[in-house]
């Protein structure tokens, strides 16, 4: 007579039976990785600023020298920087988003204003107010830059001085004034500092380590230190 090996308890397997394999838990979906847009925004700002500043210093006297600046102001300083700012919004970086979108708007407005001023006539006081407003904006953004990096802080300090001298020069008559030329030299330094910050972001990310130093700022918590602090607080 064959022995009945069925279990009297439906929820339990019969003796000697191989238990069914538990279903593997579904893997949690991985969050989409977003590249750091800051090097792109800084590069677009740097080159456009450098070229315009060289013209402001009166080192370049070509009558059509403004044309490459307008091209950069539209596509690199404007649209590329605007895209970087939108990505900073996605990454939750309020400072980066505000800075890049705002300065993208500056270059786009410059692209629109510059040729029309040349056709419409004198507007040096209105342009002075325009530049003074940007100096004020850059000055309070400099306070936020204290929590970013030393090169970025240098960019904002130099840019504040650039706008300020350009505004004074514009109030005094505009292109060719000594204050405008001083603003141009500060603009060159600003562009070089922005290029350095952009290069550091690209090179360090590509190598996965610090190759181009960014320096340190008092009171700034490094990302690794924030992670260790969060782990200790759990």
Query: Maximum Cα–Cα distance for the chain, whole Å?
Result: 115
pLDDT at residue 93 is higher than 50: yes
- Maximum mean pLDDT: which of 31-35, 99-103, 211-215: 99-103
Mean pLDDT (the chain, rounded):
85
Split at pLDDT 50, 70, 90, the class of 218 is confident
Give the rounded distance of the alpha carbon of 47 from its chain centre: 14
pLDDT band at residue 140 using 50, 70 and 90 as cut-offs: very high
Interval 163-173 mean pLDDT:
95
Task: Residue 116: name the closest of 66, 58, 177, 178 by CA.
Answer: 66
**How many Å apart are CA 146 and CA 150, to the nearest integer?**
8
Contact 180, 127 (CB under 8 A): no
Cβ of 55: how many Cβ atoms within 10 Å? 18
Residue 203: predicted pLDDT? 96
pLDDT at 157 over 60: yes
**pLDDT at site 34:** 81
Which pairs count as long-range contacts for 138-144, CB under 8 Å and 24+ apart, including other chains?
138/163, 141/95, 141/98, 141/99, 141/102, 144/95
pLDDT at 6 over 70: no
Exposure on the CB side of residue 70, measured as CA atoms within 13 A: 10
pLDDT at position 27 = 55
**Predicted confidence band of residue 227 (pLDDT cuts 50, 70, 90):** very low
Q: Categorise residue 174: left if φ over 0, alpha if ψ from -120 to 50, beta otherwise.
A: left
pLDDT reading at 199 higher than 60: yes
**Is residue 191's pLDDT more than 60?**
yes
Q: Residue range 211-216: average pLDDT?
A: 90
pLDDT at 232: 32
On the question of pLDDT at 122 being above 90, the answer is: no
Query: Which token pair is 10?
Result: 């439906």
* 8 A C-beta contact, residue 172 and residue 48: no
Query: Residue 196's pLDDT is what?
Result: 97
The model scores a pTM over 0.85: no
User: Is the pLDDT confidence value at 212 over 70?
Assistant: yes
Residue 121 binned pLDDT confidence (cut-offs 50, 70, 90): confident
């Amino acid at each position: 007579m064959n022995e009945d090996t069925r279990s009297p308890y439906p929820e339990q397997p019969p003796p000697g039976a191989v238990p069914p394999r538990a279903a593997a838990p579904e893997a949690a979906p991985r969050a989409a990785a977003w590249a750091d847009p800051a090097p792109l925004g800084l590069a677009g700002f740097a080159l456009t600023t450098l070229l315009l500043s060289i013209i402001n210093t009166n080192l370049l006297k070509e009558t059509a020298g403004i044309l490459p600046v307008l091209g950069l102001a539209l596509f690199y300083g404007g649209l590329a920087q605007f895209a970087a700012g939108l990505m900073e919004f996605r990454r939750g970086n309020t400072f980066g988003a505000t800075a890049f979108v705002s300065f993208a708007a500056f270059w786009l407005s410059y692209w629109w204003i510059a040729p029309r001023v040349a056709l419409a006539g004198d507007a040096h006081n209105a342009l002075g107010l325009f530049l003074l407003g940007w100096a004020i904006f850059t000055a309070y953004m400099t306070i936020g830059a204290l929590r970013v990096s030393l090169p970025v802080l240098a960019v904002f300090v130099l840019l504040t001085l650039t706008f300020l001298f350009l505004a004074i020069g514009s109030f005094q008559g505009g292109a060719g004034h000594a204050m405008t030329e001083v603003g141009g030299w500060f603009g060159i330094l600003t562009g070089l500092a922005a290029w350095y910050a952009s290069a550091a972001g690209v090179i360090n990310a590509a190598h996965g380590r610090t190759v181009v130093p960014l320096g340190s700022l008092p009171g700034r918590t490094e990302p690794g230190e924030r992670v260790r602090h969060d782990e200790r607080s759990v």
